[in-house]
Each structure stands twice: as structure tokens, then as C-alpha cells.
């Protein structure tokens, strides 16, 4: 089954404790991205990647890191989480290319609470 998977689905942590949220897709998609969803703000893009070893900042990259060493994986790293990073996080992927990358497939989401 074609899908985007995220782990963990739920995470409670404390301020300053490094964490990683994994994202994997099995569709051989070139484009991957991370979003956070906050009430009343919609989705905001954190980082995106056009292909392996090619990452770029989205609208809200502060406090986050990403890497794209393999085409299928795009982990999100919070080196020192803070309470304002409490949010619902989504990973997404798409084929890429003109007119195609906008058809993004989203993972199920990771709900993060930073105490």
C-alpha cells in the first residue's frame, strides 16, 4: 500500500530533550516536506526537500533540523524542544516536477507535547 508513515504518533517530552520524528514514504517520491498544524493557523511548512541531500527552509524553520540521506526517509529533529513547539506535525511527499509536486500525500500526523 502506498503510504507515508510517521513515528511516533504521540510524544510527550520535556524542554531541552532532543527528539526525532521519523517519516518514510514508499512511493519513490522526490519531494518531501514537514508541516506543523496549530489551531487557527492552518498548516505551515517547516522544511522541504526536493531530492536526496537537497533541503530548504519553509516558513517556520527555527528550532528544527532535517536531513535527506535516502530518498524514502525525511526525519525531523528537534535539538532542544521548547513548549512553543507543541503542535501536530505532518510529513508529506509528492512526485515532484511541474504541476505534480502539489499533489502531496500526507502522513497520519505526530502529536507532540513539550512540557
Partner 1 sequence: AQSVAQPEDQVNVAEGNPLTVKCTYSVSGNPYLFWYVQYPNRGLQFLLKYITGDNLVKGSYGFEAEFNKSQTSFHLKKPSALVSDSALYFCAVRETGGSYIPTFGRGTSLIVHP
Query: Residues in the site for partner 1, rule: CB under 8 A?
Result: 4, 31, 35, 40-45, 48, 50, 56, 58-59, 90, 92, 99, 101-109
Nearest to partner 1 of 28, 80 (CB atom): 28
d(CA 7, CA 16): 20
Residue 98 beta carbon to partner 1: minimum distance, rounded to whole angstroms = 8
Nearest Cα neighbor of 93 from 103, 83, 105, 84 is 105
What's the gap between Cα 60 and its chain centre? 12
Nearest to partner 1 of 69, 97 (CB atom): 97
Nearest to partner 1 of 6, 85 (CB atom): 6
Please calculate the CA angle 20-23-24 and round it to the nearest 5 degrees: 145
Q: Show Cβ contacts of residue 64 under 8 Å, excluding neighbours closer than 6 positions.
A: 34, 46, 47, 76, 77, 78
Residue 91 beta carbon to partner 1: minimum distance, rounded to whole angstroms = 9
Residue 19 beta carbon to partner 1: minimum distance, rounded to whole angstroms = 20
Residue 37 beta carbon to partner 1: minimum distance, rounded to whole angstroms = 9
Amino acid at each position: 500500500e502506498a503510504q507515508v508513515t510517521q513515528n511516533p504518533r504521540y510524544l510527550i517530552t520535556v524542554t531541552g530533550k532532543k527528539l526525532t520524528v521519523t517519516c518514510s514514504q514508499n512511493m519513490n517520491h522526490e519531494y518531501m516536506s514537514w508541516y506543523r498544524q496549530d489551531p487557527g493557523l492552518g498548516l505551515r511548512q517547516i522544511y522541504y526537500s526536493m531530492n536526496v541531500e537537497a533541503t530548504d527552509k519553509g516558513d517556520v524553520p527555527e528550532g528544527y533540523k532535517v536531513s535527506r540521506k535516502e530518498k524514502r526517509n525525511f526525519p525531523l529533529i528537534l535539538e532542544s524542544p521548547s513548549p512553543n513547539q507543541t503542535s501536530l506535525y505532518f510529513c508529506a511527499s509528492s512526485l515532484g516536477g511541474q504541476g505534480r509536486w502539489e499533489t502531496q500525500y500526507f502522513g497520519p500526523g505526530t502529536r507532540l507535547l513539550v512540557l
